[in-house]
Amino acid sequence: MKQNLALFDLDNTLLAGDSDYNWSLFLIEQGLLDATTHHERNEQFYLDYKNGNLDIYKFLEFQLKPLSEHSMQTLNDLHAKYMDTVIRPMMTKKAQDLVNKHQAQGDLCLVITATNSFVTRPIAQAYGIANLIGTDPEMVNGAYTGGVAGVPSFQEGKVTRLNQWLAERGQALADFDVSYFYSDSHNDLPLMKLVTNPVAVDADATLTAYAEQQGWPHISLR
């Protein structure tokens, strides 16, 4: 039997909230970032993302810098606390049921997110999904530099990164008769247009309008 492919966006799709945006708020609450300057820039970047005009490299320079300022042990301890206090309350039963359904069908499941892989890998694993494509923070000698490694998995970058990931497995998107992509954001339209079964999830206004036009299903995981 041929395997199907199930792709899941993370923030505001599987999660009832944004793990990137809330990571910054969490670091502010922990006293590790200056509240005034960081909160203001975080809000502006989040607005730019929602409006579809985010400068991904400027954002990543801002978002990845804190990773370079702490040891891996400190970061992992912080993330464990972040998972318990912020992320688990955002994980919904409907989202877990959807993941479980695809896994029960034997589908190849993958979380594909613009958010960096340090923040998102433990979240994907908490949903029981082993495969993750996130924007990868650069590491040198076991420490984060604050830079980016490779192509950010954002907008068309998600298509590039998915194709690279599949190629490493000796596969291509065309090999799957059925491919799903669940997302809330118009930023994901480049990849949604390529799968056989795009599904809008609690979608923004732009994606909602496009999905209605195309006759795509629109579901809620909240």
Q: How does pLDDT run along the chain (222 residues), one tens digit per residue? A: 789 999 999 999 999 999 999 999 999 999 999 888 888 998 999 899 989 899 999 999 999 999 999 999 999 999 999 999 999 999 999 999 999 999 999 999 999 999 999 999 999 999 999 999 999 999 999 999 999 999 999 999 999 999 999 999 999 999 999 999 999 999 999 999 999 999 999 999 999 999 999 999 999 999
Q: What burial letters (b/e) apply to 119-146, b meaning 16+ CB within 10 Å?
A: bbbbbbeebebeebbbbbbeeeeeebeb
Parallel, antiparallel or unpaired: strands 179-183 and 197-201: parallel
What residues are labeled active site?
A: 9, 11
What pTM value is reported for the model? 0.96
5-219: CATH homologous superfamily?
Answer: HAD superfamily/HAD-like (3.40.50.1000)
Give the CA distances from residue 19 to residues 24, 159, 174, 211, in Å, rounded to whole numbers and listed in that order: 9, 21, 31, 25
pLDDT tens string 82-106: 999 999 999 999 999 999 999 999 9
| Residue 36, pLDDT score | 86
Q: Where are the domains of the chain?
A: 5-219
pLDDT tens string 11-45: 999 999 999 999 999 999 999 998 888 889 989 99
Helices (H) and strands (E) in the chain, counts: 9, 7
Residue type for 142, please? G
